[in-house]
Structure 1
Amino acid sequence: MIISAIVIYNQIQFLKNKPLGFEQNSMVQLDLEGELRNPSKLELFKNQLKKEGVITTASEFAGSFTRGGSITGDISWPGKAVTDKSIINYRSTGFDFVQTVGTQLIAGRDFSPKFPADTSSSVMLNETAVKLMNLKTPIGTILNWGNNPSLKVVGVVKDYYNERLGKAVEPTLYYYNVNSSKVLLLRLNPNQPLNTSIQAIKNVSQQLNPAYPAEIQFISEGMAEKLKSEHLLSVLSNLFGGFAIFISCLGLLGLALYMAEQRSKESASVKFWVQVFQIS
């Protein structure tokens, strides 16, 4: 139990301190609902926040950033074997996704309004997807995905841990699609007080989308939620480890008392026979 408690404690510390591959601090998410489903209103919302200095960048995303998403086995790439049944994750995003998330580009570029093709025929892959597809030069590679042939890889994103902390990163494909995205990721301006930024977001949202009060979620809190079960396991293991130490100490105490009693009896016996021999 003591060894188990130590192992679990070290594992929890490892999960807490491991590099996530993205910057979770100063990033929040907001559900896209009501008027924010309208592309023009959404663009106005983002521009207003940037104008007021509340955020530095923003990008749409498929769903809650700290949860899972959609998968497919219908993606093909050059050299893919007929028997290959690999499953690929896919996530819709907006422009400036890499900068908003705070991750890194290994190669190529991010989605940008400067490239019209990004809205229809460009994709990005993460490192794990590149390794799975065994792409030596991924930038410029053409992929086929269901009814979307000729998708060009324009960027490779560094692997990051946002869905599962204790498991390997899944191969993921990113594509631009604001209409199918359900949340808006916001990178807050670090030079502005946090409470001021949050209140400003609520105020702008109230003006443009009054029927849906803004519910702002911190990405760091979502990541902390993932460690709750592990933290409970750590507490229980420490509790039972301490209990095991207590029981062990009681056992040692009992053994020591038993040995002392045996020594006392042996001493009394020796004295008795010494007296017998003296009388004789």
Structure 2
Amino acid sequence: MPSSSSVAEARRALGQRLREIRKDSGLTARALAGLAGWHESKCSRIEHGRTPPSDADIRVWTLHCSAQGQTADLIATARAVEGMYVEWRRMERAGLKQVQESVAPLFQRTRRFRVYQSWVMPGLLQTAAYTEAVLRTITDLRDVPDDIDAAVAVRMERQRVLHAGDHRFAVLVEEWVLRTVIGDAEVMAGQLGHLIATASLPSVSLGIIPAGVPRGAGWPVESFTMYDDAQVNVELVSAHLTVTQPSEVAMYAQAFAELAELAVYGTAARSLVTAAIDSLE
């Protein structure tokens, strides 16, 4: 699965693709640089993923390599690579409220949500108290502006999507998330009760992956959310990774399917949640 190293890997993959185009054209790196008016080391830096190519660089590259038919796809790939990785600090610099608001258009246009959580409860299924406890931890760890009340209000408003339109939500949660106390026992009890109630909605399918289930291909990975088959957002400790390349989106779809096979649903899932509530006592 893509991680914080995915950007470097994606840049190298793009560079390798450009190298193959150059070699197919019969040009050496020095010859291409000469035609483009670049320093002779620029081609090497791009091909090895050390320098990301601009749109103009790609247009010049494909022009001199007689590969203009690939220009649009290469530019889209390059833009996707550069947009994959956004540091949490940069996202949160203007406050947590803005981070919550920034995803509103994505939620509105998505019809099928697939959510896997290995860390905390999925945001769409959180109570206000649980969300506040999570965001409080973020402000303490990352020294971001404290606008928690406003951020919580935005997230709670966003949960209206659970009841509106033809949205569908397939949610997978690791059992240990149920037993990780966020806030305090009272907050967790309220959250777990809310999880049972939300799972009864017609639009929501909740699967719990038992802690003792034998693992095969469905190994725990970073928490992620799939928005239709168009985009995946991955939660890392230091960053927010956005994946839009079809081949990588397909990898997450496969991972979700494998994890879903390990989960229990319905009465069995509710029993695990109820057991977690009982353990708080």
Asked if these proteins are the same fold (TM beyond 0.5), I'd say no
- Bigger radius of gyration: 1
TM-score for both structures, normalised by structure 1: 0.23
TM-score for both structures, normalised by structure 2: 0.23
Structure (1 or 2) with the greater helix fraction: 2
Structure (1 or 2) with the greater strand fraction: 1
